[in-house]
Amino acid sequence: MVDTAVLVVSYRRADLLVRCLNSLDRFAGDSRILVWDNRSDGTAEIKKLAAKYPDVEWTFHPENIGFSRAVNQMSYSCPESDKLLFNPDAELIRDIRPLQQTLKSHPDMAAVAPMIFDSSRHPWDNAHRHPTMARALISRLGYSSLLRGTPLSDNYSAPPQGEPGYLSGACLLISKDAWADVGGFDERYFLYSEEVDWQTRARSRGWRTRMVPVVAARHATAGTVSDNPGGTRLSDQLLIEGQIRFLGDHRHAWQAKTYRRLVPQIDRLVTAREALRRRVHARESAGNSVRQQDPPSETFARWAGTSP
């Protein structure tokens, strides 16, 4: 019996999926690998990969049914296996045995995750504090890193030693027993916050989570839509909707309503801030360009009034 099944929900970007699958082949041992490709009719390149990776269990779906539903569908075929959720824009860089061993040695552990290398973040930033409206607003403003380690930020100042608020689903090993007890993902969450909701429900039933202190994966955040402005905007809207749904489900309805009302105002503020920053940068660049046109001696002579 295979102890671990790797579940990958693919969407566009065959080039990223190839990198992902190659890393799983190298570091996932004898795990079953299942790939569910959403909206396959629009990604013919991914269908071609089936012949190159015959050991992968492929599902090609003509529509984008969302991440939660796709994971649930794949999980039905591997009820006796622990489930490693793995993003198609991620790649393993070391063996997953430390994750498997940690999960097996703690019967009350619902899920574990490694640290993840991302060039723009700390490797433990896939562990977050419990979501609140205030932290969601701070993150939207772009100040989570600046306020790292404070109660207003969802970012930890160091790898969490105890149980984190939640672990991201980019590389998340879930216990089969916890999955059977808690149930699958809530399919009202189309793309984002489904793992936060699931871990919150698991915790309410006495399960725990833990970050394993090894860097085992590399992740290109939002890689599947990074080349598509329309897809990026849709992804951001789904992120907002997932956060609103979580606040309504697990905090208070007023927090969900307030967050929905404040997001457009925050986005306008962020846009204005970025526009001002670009103007200041352009002026500074123009000034540097002018100063660099003349040799220092000629510039000094002109300032001193001794130039011809």
Q: Which domain holds residue 89?
A: 4-132+160-228
Q: Which residues pair with 34 in a beta bridge?
A: 7, 57
Q: Is the pLDDT of residue 222 over 60?
A: no
Asked if the structure places residue 21 within a domain, the reply is yes
| 71: nearest Cα among 53, 208, 1, 61 | 61
What confidence tens digit (pLDDT) does each residue in 29-48 have? 999 999 999 987 767 788 89
Do 275 and 181 share a structural domain? no
pLDDT of residue 300: 37
Asked if the structure places residue 213 within a domain, the reply is yes
Q: pTM for the full model?
A: 0.86
Q: Which residues pair with 32 in a beta bridge?
A: 5
Q: Which residues contact 13 (CB under 8 A, 6 or more apart)?
A: 88, 89, 223, 224, 227
pLDDT of residue 227: 53
Do 112 and 260 share a structural domain? no
Do 213 and 268 share a structural domain? no
| 262: nearest Cα among 272, 251, 270 | 270
Asked if the structure places residue 25 within a domain, the reply is yes
Indicate the number of domains in the chain.
Answer: 2
Asked if the structure places residue 117 within a domain, the reply is yes
pLDDT band for 290, please (50, 70, 90 cuts): low
Q: Are 38 and 88 in contact (CB under 8 A)?
A: no
CA angle 167, 175, 127 (to 5 degrees): 10
| Amino acid at the residue 74 | M
pLDDT band for 286, please (50, 70, 90 cuts): confident
pLDDT of residue 292: 58
pLDDT of residue 291: 57
Do 192 and 119 share a structural domain? yes
pLDDT of residue 231: 63
pLDDT band for 2, please (50, 70, 90 cuts): low
Tokens 């009302």 belong to: 261
Do 202 and 84 share a structural domain? yes
Q: Is the pLDDT of residue 277 over 50?
A: yes
Do 114 and 263 share a structural domain? no
Do 178 and 105 share a structural domain? yes
Do 260 and 118 share a structural domain? no
pLDDT of residue 299: 43
Asked if the structure places residue 149 within a domain, the reply is no
Do 46 and 99 share a structural domain? yes
Q: Is the pLDDT of residue 230 over 80?
A: no
Do 177 and 96 share a structural domain? yes
Do 93 and 37 share a structural domain? yes
